[in-house]
Amino acid sequence: MDIQNQQSVNGAYRVDITKGQRIGRVSSEWWTRPDDEKYLSLSDLYADVKARADRATTRTVESREIRVEATRDDAERLELIVPGREQPVSATHWSFGQLCSLVGAPSTYMRQLPAPLAGINLQYGLSNHRAELVKTLEAEDGNVELRAVTGPDYGRIWDHELVAAVQKIAGNGNGDTRWKVPGVLNWADMTYNPFVDVSKETTTLYASDRDVFLFLVDDTNPIEAGCLADGSPDLYFRGFYAWNSEVGSKTLGIASFYLRAVCQNRNLWGTENFEQITIRHSKFAGNRFAQEAAPALTSFANSSPKAFLAGIQSARELIVARTDEDRDSFLRKRGFSKGETAKIVETVLNEEGRKPESIFDFVQGITALARNKAHQDARLELEGRAKKLMEAAI
């Protein structure tokens, strides 16, 4: 790796989070995960998701051959008899919803019915299911559980396959390689400390019965990309998050970016150069993961920041406005209203001590405006325009 403009650190360093975007995806995961879905290392995470895959059985069956039974001992419980297995199978909350969706029944309503009545409706739907074939994912751990029901062409990528791909570049995820669980931003002095113990409160490694999510950074090797208004270095570091669901609740995806800080609530601050790929669990999803996603992850982990730095330098040097008339014309031609134009110019003036002149100045002003938008659609639309402007300068 080309480490020019990179430096290893042994303590906290100052950052400026007024630049770039704030991304809340990791924070959303952090807020909603109970402790039993949080892991302190990639090895522990891998062991759990690999073990459940080892206990799993998949099969393709005719939907009309599935039998739905309501037990007399428990009027609230439904069991399924799946072809090829004598032991009854219990549907999870997720797989029951998938079954309902496959046969066109509203799952919320079906859950409100007594089990015998819900069973009659579900049995009718399965017996008359026009697609005929379904693929089941069953897990045996004492009892047999139906974890997923999908179409016959569902291309499953196992959660442990994604975790294993991440382990190749990140080891245990807690500092044995460059890639690790992130540190924490200190709001009092605006310094970022990458050296924070991994705990249930700080970890960004998650898995539930229906998905896996991982976020790691290279924050002990920040990259200097120019200077702040006071002359101190503008420091970034690399990060990525990845997600998957082997039961079909979401696609597989990997997002990579540069960022300046992560706060205690796991919001990403000062994010730049955000890129994302997703893979639907279609028939050839496994091949696409092997050919696209896993290599892309390795490539980003081993890549030089040279292209990123060159892009920022180019945007800094590309002067597009020297007068107020130039600034107004530049932004208005790109669809910004008179009010938005004034706010963008004012933001740059307040943060940099001068009015915007370069592409980089305008991009920072636009992203700052986006952060103040209450509605996500409006914020994403502005961030997209800023990204296009930045790309045009490279």
For 273-297, what is each residue's pLDDT tens digit?
Answer: 888 888 888 877 877 787 778 888 8
Q: How far apart are CA 68 and CA 60, in angstroms?
A: 17
* 46 and 183 assigned to the same domain: yes
**Cβ–Cβ under 8 Å, residues 22 and 267:** yes
pTM to 2 decimals? 0.80
Q: Is residue 311 part of a domain?
A: no
> Residue 73: its pLDDT value, please?
57
* 102 and 169 assigned to the same domain: no
> Residue 31: its pLDDT value, please?
94
* 262 and 116 assigned to the same domain: no
For 159, the token pair is 């959660």
Q: How far apart are CA 209 and CA 89, in angstroms?
A: 16
* 177 and 290 assigned to the same domain: yes
Predicted confidence (pLDDT) per residue in 191-239, tens digit: 999 999 999 999 999 999 999 999 999 999 999 887 777 778 889 999 9
Q: How far apart are CA 81 and CA 135, in angstroms?
A: 14
- Structural domain containing residue 378: 318-393
* 91 and 47 assigned to the same domain: no
pLDDT tens per residue, the chain (394 residues)?
444 456 788 899 999 888 888 899 999 999 999 999 999 999 999 999 999 999 998 988 888 888 888 765 555 678 888 888 878 888 888 999 998 888 888 988 888 888 888 888 888 888 887 768 889 999 887 788 889 998 888 889 999 999 999 999 999 999 899 999 999 999 999 999 999 999 999 999 999 999 999 999 999 999 988 777 777 888 999 999 999 999 998 889 999 999 999 999 999 999 988 888 888 888 778 777 877 788 888 888 877 777 766 776 777 778 888 898 888 898 888 888 888 889 889 888 887 778 888 888 888 888 888 877 777 778 778 888 887 887 776 5
User: 159-170 and 294-302 helices cross at what angle (nearest 10)?
Assistant: 20
What's CA 7's distance to the chain center, in Å?
27
* 370 and 288 assigned to the same domain: no
Handedness of CA 50, 55, 56, 57 (dihedral sign): positive
* 166 and 300 assigned to the same domain: yes
| Chosen domain end from 103, 131, 150 | 150
* 20 and 124 assigned to the same domain: no
Q: Is residue 309 part of a domain?
A: no
CA 85 → CA 51, 54, 93, 128, 139, distances in Å?
21, 17, 21, 22, 12
Number of domains, the chain: 3
* 175 and 243 assigned to the same domain: yes
Q: Which among 233, 178, 209, 179 has a CA at the least distance from the CA of 16?
A: 233
**Cβ–Cβ under 8 Å, residues 163 and 46:** yes
> Residue 1: its pLDDT value, please?
40
Q: Is residue 4 part of a domain?
A: no
Q: Is residue 367 part of a domain?
A: yes
* 192 and 276 assigned to the same domain: yes
Q: How far apart are CA 366 and CA 377, in angstroms?
A: 15
Q: Is residue 325 part of a domain?
A: yes
Q: Is residue 243 part of a domain?
A: yes
| Chosen domain end from 133, 150, 167 | 150
